[in-house]
Structures are given as structure tokens and as C-alpha cells.
Amino acid sequence: MTPLARLKSIFGGSVGNLVEWYDWYIYSSLSLYFAPVFFPNASFTAQLLNTAAIFAVGFLARPIGSWLMGIYADTHGRKAALTVSVIFMCLGSLIIAVTPGYAEIGIAAPVILLLARLLQGLSVGGEYGTSATYLSEMALEKNRGFYSSFQYVTLIMGQLLALGLLILMQQFFLTPEQIQAWGWRIPFFVGAACAVVAFYLRRGIEETPAFTQTTHPERGTLTELLRHPRAVITVVGLTLGGTVAFYTYTTYMQKFMVNTSGFSKDDATLISTAALFVFMLFQPVAGFISDRIGRRPLLLGFGVLGALGTVPLLSTLAGTRDFTTAFLLIMLGLFAVSGYTSINAVVKAELFPAHVRALGVGLPYALTVAIFGGTAEYVALYLKDIGHEPLFYWYVSGCIAASFVVYVLMPDTKKHSRIET
């Protein structure tokens, strides 16, 4: 494969990932506005709890999606699976965009919302393992950490686009009343349209040599995956703390600043957007560093900083009303999380042989994210609702500490990679 063809394929896979995660995160970014549309007869915190519950249910579909798409990617190719996953995301966004509210169709409104999120959960579940595998296999050994980090660059960029579109509507085009009444639907229409574009881009990417050269008779089977128990357990362990921390400092932070710190919706959106932008830029830097010093030192750094710093950081953020202070505190959290996010895709891909790599990367990851990452926001809101919000800070810290133990015990996958074998 020529360098140009390799870069074109990495770009095509990354752009599709961007659209997938834009569609996934637009739900969280806009839930402050559409929660009363689907759940009108409740307190604001209860409305957020209801939308967070559906957000969590979407995560429960991710293991199914990662299982189905992992099998498909390991048997029919990474390119084919990436193309199918973006179609599912398009349909999910379009359904949410056109679904009437509770006032028009009653209980059917939240039910349809739930079904759309399940469809998106299937898509994102299949997307992670396949795109992580694709980017890792497409990159050369010397820059595998750098190129694989673009999975989170595009993931974060998708969230930034969601927040950016919301800011444009807030600041220039629509009043808060208009956004809550009907304007929140616009980003979902945009997401569906972008998914169509991503579909055509992905049709033109190359298949990875690692897949085309694989002739193993049990490609993509659970039986074969279970022959690699240590790798599966390692994926679960290294994901646990990372996913809780990531969703705490990204999707939940906007609500935390509004519902706990007391910021306006507009200010919370601006702070989140600025912090995520810097976070995004740091991913390739950390990925590049991992290509020089190894993956394990970055994971250990995240484990130490996250386990020791989460409680004081979130406690301070809860009491601040200053824009700059809130931004810097969130950036401290995201800086620590970068030790996980920038390299977690390549670390997992390097644990498995090619014939079961997409399934091995995606399924244990999706199960862990469904149990811990997808419920982080719900746990936070529930503990706040019953008057024990600080317990959530300790919960996040404990999850990171558990992963730190895994980081200490696991080998450095840069030195023991299975991508070349």
C-alpha cells in the first residue's frame, strides 16, 4: 500500500468515526432542552434522570453491536463493518429528529426515543472495535500510537461539532424557547445527513492487509475469543476507570456545571467546548509520546492522577462560579484522562491476533462501557437527587484505582504487540 493510499484510508475511517460520535453525543448535549418535551411532568433533575436512563440503555445495546459487528469485521472485513455501522447511526438520528413529543403522542414518544437510542447503541458498539482495529492495522509500527489516537481526536471532534452547533443556535439564531420547542431537532437532522456522506467516504477506503492475509478457520468466533482470556480481562480492567473518567469529564460536565455549580446553560456549553477542544489537540501528542516511551507509562500516569486527584478536583469545581477556574479544573481532569484515551484503542488492538481482533477489542470494551461508562451520568444524578452527590466523586476515583492495578500488572503492548503476527 502506498503512503497516500494509507493516509486516505486512515482519513476515511476517522471521518466516519467523527460522524458516528457526533450523532451519539448530540443526544447528551441537547438533553437539557428536549428532556421536558419527552418527560414533561417531573422536576428538572428527574427529567434529566429519565433522559440519562435512556442514554444508559443505549449503552446496553453497545455490547450486542460490538458482538455482531466484531464477528462481521473479522469474517467479512473491517471496511464492510464500518460501512454498515454508519447506516445504523443515520437511521437512529433521523428517528429522533422526527419523533413528536409527549404532548402529541403520549407514552409513545419516550418509547420511540428509546428505540432510536438502541439503534444508535448497536451502531456505536460496532464502531469502536472495528475502527480501533482498522486504524491500528493501517498504521505502521513506528507511528501506530500516533495514528490510532485519531480515533479519539475524531470522537472528541464529533462532540465538539455537537456543542458548536448548539452554541451557534444559542448565540446567533434561536432563542432558548425556540431551541426547547423545536430547534433541538435540527442537529439530529444534520447528523443523519452527515452519516450519508460518511457512508460514501467509507465505501472508498482500502481493506487492511492484516485482514486480507488472515486465513484462520475460526475467524470472529466467541469460542476463539475465549482462547485469549488474559487479553479479554485486560481490556475490561484497563477500560473500567478510563470510561468512567471520560464520561464524567465530557458528557456529564455540562450538566454538572448547570445543576451543581450553578452556571447558565450557555456558559456551561462554552466551558465544555473550550475544554474539549484542547483535550482533542492533546490526543496525537500523547499518542506520539507512546510511540517513543511505550503505552504503559501513560496508563500509569492516568491511574495515579485520576485516583488521587478526582475527589479534590470535583469538590472544588462544585463550589466555583468562575468561568476560568472551571475551565482549568476540567482541563486538569481531561489531561489525566488523556493517558488513557489517546492510546486505549491501540493497546487493545495489540493484545489480539488478527482473526479475532475486532471482536476482542470491541466486545469486552463495550460490556465494560455499558456497565460503568453508560451509567456514570445516571449514578451522578441519582446520588445528587438523594442528597449524596460527593459519593460520586469517590466512585470515579475508586474505578480509576481499580484500573491502576491492571496497568501495573499488564505488559507494555508496544513491546509485545500481536499486530505483526
Splitting the chain (421 residues) into consecutive groups of 10 residues, what average pLDDT does each group show? 74 76 77 76 66 70 86 86 84 88 81 83 82 81 83 84 82 82 88 84 79 76 87 92 91 85 83 90 92 91 94 92 92 94 89 86 87 84 86 94 93 75 45
Q: Which amino acid is at 115?
A: L
Backbone angles phi, psi at 105, to 5 degrees: -125, 10
**Among 58, 65, 5, 22, residue whose Cα is nearest residue 198:** 22
Whether the Cβ atoms of residue 419 and residue 148 lie closer than 8 Å to each other? no
How far apart, in whole angstroms, are the C-alpha atoms of residue 382 and residue 412? 38
Whether the Cβ atoms of residue 378 and residue 392 lie closer than 8 Å to each other? no
Q: Which amino acid is at 152?
A: Y
CATH of the domain at 169: 1.20.1250.20
Mapping DSSP to helix (H, G, I), strand (E, B) and coil, where does residue 404 land?
helix
The confidence score (pLDDT) of residue 18 equals: 83
What one-character DSSP code corresponds to residue 206? P
Whether the Cβ atoms of residue 160 and residue 280 lie closer than 8 Å to each other? yes
Whether the Cβ atoms of residue 194 and residue 158 lie closer than 8 Å to each other? no
Cell of 367: 460490556
Chain centroid to CA 249: 12
How far apart, in whole angstroms, are the C-alpha atoms of residue 362 and residue 69? 9
How far apart, in whole angstroms, are the C-alpha atoms of residue 72 and residue 90? 19
Whether the Cβ atoms of residue 291 and residue 152 lie closer than 8 Å to each other? no
**Within a domain: 80:** yes
The confidence score (pLDDT) of residue 298 equals: 93
**Within a domain: 343:** yes
Whether the Cβ atoms of residue 128 and residue 90 lie closer than 8 Å to each other? no
Does the CA dihedral 164-165-168-171 come out positive or negative?
negative
The confidence score (pLDDT) of residue 421 equals: 45
Query: Is 0.85 topped by the overall pTM?
Result: no
Q: Which amino acid is at 204?
A: G
**Within a domain: 211:** no
**Within a domain: 414:** no
Domain count of the fold of the chain: 1
Instruction: Give CA torsion, residues 117, 157, 374, 313, to 10 deg.
Output: -150
What is the CA angle 397-342-316, rounded to 5?
35
**Within a domain: 295:** yes
The confidence score (pLDDT) of residue 44 equals: 65
The confidence score (pLDDT) of residue 47 equals: 67
**Rounded (10°) angle between helices 323-341 and 229-249:** 170
What one-character DSSP code corresponds to residue 226? T
**Among 28, 50, 30, 54, residue whose Cα is nearest residue 39:** 50
How far apart, in whole angstroms, are the C-alpha atoms of residue 381 and residue 355? 41
Range of the domain at 331: 3-203+228-409
How far apart, in whole angstroms, are the C-alpha atoms of residue 194 and residue 36? 27
C-alpha distances out from residue 3 to 139, 144, 350, 372, Å: 10, 14, 22, 39
**Within a domain: 216:** no
Q: Which amino acid is at 102?
A: Y
**Within a domain: 184:** yes
**Within a domain: 417:** no
Question: Diameter of the chain by CA atoms?
Answer: 60
